[in-house]
Amino acid sequence: MATSTAQSTPNKTTQDQLRAYVERIERLEEEKKVLSQDVTGIYQEAKSNGYDVKAMRRIIQIRRLDPQVAAELDELVDLYKHALGMV
Amino acid sequence: MATSTAQSTPNKTTQDQLRAYVERIERLEEEKKVLSQDVTGIYQEAKSNGYDVKAMRRIIQIRRLDPQVAAELDELVDLYKHALGMV
C-alpha cells in the first residue's frame, strides 16, 4: 500500500486513497475508449464515402510530425526501400 | 479522393470533406492525448504517495477482465511459470 507502514497495516484511509486513484484512472480510460470508438466511427464513415482508411491514417501520422522531421522520414524510407530492393 | 471520379478530379467538396474527417479525428486524438496525460498524472501522484505504479497497472488490467477470465489467466500464468522453471 502507500507507505512502508501502510504496507504492513493498510488502513481505511490508504484503502480509500488507492480505490480513488484506481477509479479515477478507470474513468479516464473509459473516456479514452469512447473517443477511440468515435475515431473508428469517423474512419468507417469516411470509408463508406469512398476514402481510403490506410491513406487517411498515413496523412494523420504525417501531419502529427514537424514538417522537417516528416521530410527526413520520407528520405529515410526511400533509402530503406532502395536498400531492401523494394524499388 | 472519395470516388473514382473524385480520384481523377478532386473537387472542392471532396477536399473539404476529407479535411473535415481528418480534423475531426485529430481533435479526438488530441482529447485522447490529454486524457492519457491525466492518467499519467494520477499515476505520478499515486507514486509520490507511496503506491507502486506497476502493481496499480496490474490491478487495473485485472479489473478490466471478467472475473472468470481473470482466474483462468492466473492459472495459465502459474502453469507457464512452472513450464519455464520460474518457480
Q: What is the pTM of this model?
A: 0.80
Spatial distance between the Cα atoms of B56 and A33, rounded to a whole number of angstroms: 19
Query: How many beta carbons lie within 10 A of that of residue B25, not counting itself?
Result: 20
Single out the residue of B36, B40, B57 nearest to residue A35, CA to CA: B36
Q: Where are the domains of chain A?
A: 10-51, 52-87
- Ramachandran class of B9: left when φ > 0, alpha when ψ lies in -120 to 50, beta otherwise: beta
- Cross-chain residue pair B51–A1, CB shorter than 8 Å: yes
**Cβ distance of A3 and B46 shorter than 8 Å:** no
pLDDT tens string, chain B, 87 residues long: the values are 555 444 556 688 899 999 999 999 999 999 999 999 999 999 999 999 999 999 999 999 999 999 999 999 999 999 999 999 998
Residues of B with a Cβ under 8 Å from any A Cβ are 1-3, 6, 17-18, 21-22, 24-26, 28-29, 31-32, 35-36, 38-39, 42-43, 45-46, 49-51, 56, 59-60, 63
ipTM: 0.81
A32 and B36: CB-CB below 8 Å?
A: yes
